[in-house]
């Protein structure tokens, strides 16, 4: 499972990098805009809210996992030609068992993503907690692309919240506003 989840994260990151050429109509200046004056996007099915700068694009994909096929639901906001905000989630029974070591799953997800990046380098990482969800935060870079990811496990759901910046590090103020806007709903 370590490789499959890491591969998913890697594919997701490189898919986002490839998407940068598809939406040329968005202004590049939005990369550093904070989300303070933006309404929260609420997903009742996903049980989360977050402040995207635009209406996100929704996609669903089935990925093979040790516990069977997993549907991954992804929300993507291409803020500019060089900046993408993303939130993806999936459910697996193995996240919600007493014998599951959540910290191990989080580290495997992070490490798998870094290992599957072409020349990916982990810059830093640390544990997170959000209400009753445990998580991990990490920054990485690969060939001029910069990533910040927060990954949380809440019950049987794994949330991946990320920012991708091409050509320069992610703006710290924009990242803080985006990541701090994420809430898990009951």
Q: Residue 56 sits in a domain of what CATH number?
A: 3.40.1000.10
Residues 115, 107: contact at Cβ < 8 Å?
A: no
Q: Cα–Cα distance between 38 and 159 in angstroms, integer? A: 21
pLDDT at 82 over 90: yes
Q: Cα–Cα distance between 24 and 11 in angstroms, integer? A: 22
- Give SS3 for 181: coil
Residue 99 has what pLDDT? 62
Q: Which residues pair with 41 in a beta bridge?
A: 50
Residues 135, 119: contact at Cβ < 8 Å?
A: no
pLDDT at 68 over 50: yes
The count of structural domains within the chain is 1
Q: Domain residues for 27?
A: 2-184
pLDDT digits (tens, 9 = 90+) for 85-129: 999 999 877 776 666 788 888 998 888 778 877 888 999 999 999
Residues 66, 7: contact at Cβ < 8 Å?
A: no
Contacts of 132 (CB under 8 A, 6+ apart): 154, 184
CA atoms within 13 A on the CB side of 46: 24
Q: Cα–Cα distance between 121 and 34 in angstroms, integer? A: 27
């Amino acid at each position: 499972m370590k490789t499959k989840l890491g591969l998913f994260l890697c594919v997701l990151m490189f898919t986002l990098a490839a998407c940068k050429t598809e939406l040329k109509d968005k202004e590049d200046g939005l990369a550093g805009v904070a989300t303070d004056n933006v309404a929260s996007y609420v997903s009742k099915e996903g049980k989360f809210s977050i402040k995207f700068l635009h209406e996100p694009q929704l996609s669903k994909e089935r990925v093979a996992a040790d516990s069977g096929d997993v549907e991954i639901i992804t929300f993507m906001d291409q803020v500019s030609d060089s900046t993408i905000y993303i939130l993806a989630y999936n459910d697996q029974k193995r996240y919600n068992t007493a014998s599951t070591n959540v910290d191990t799953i989080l580290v495997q997800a992070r490490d798998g993503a870094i290992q599957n990046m072409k020349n990916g380098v982990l810059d830093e990482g640390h544990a997170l907690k959000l209400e009753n969800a445990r998580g991990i935060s990490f920054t990485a870079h690969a060939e001029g692309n910069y990533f910040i990811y927060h990954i949380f496990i809440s019950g049987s759901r794994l949330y991946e919240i990320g920012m991708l910046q091409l050509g320069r590090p992610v703006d710290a103020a924009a990242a803080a506003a985006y990541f701090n806007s994420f809430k898990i709903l009951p």
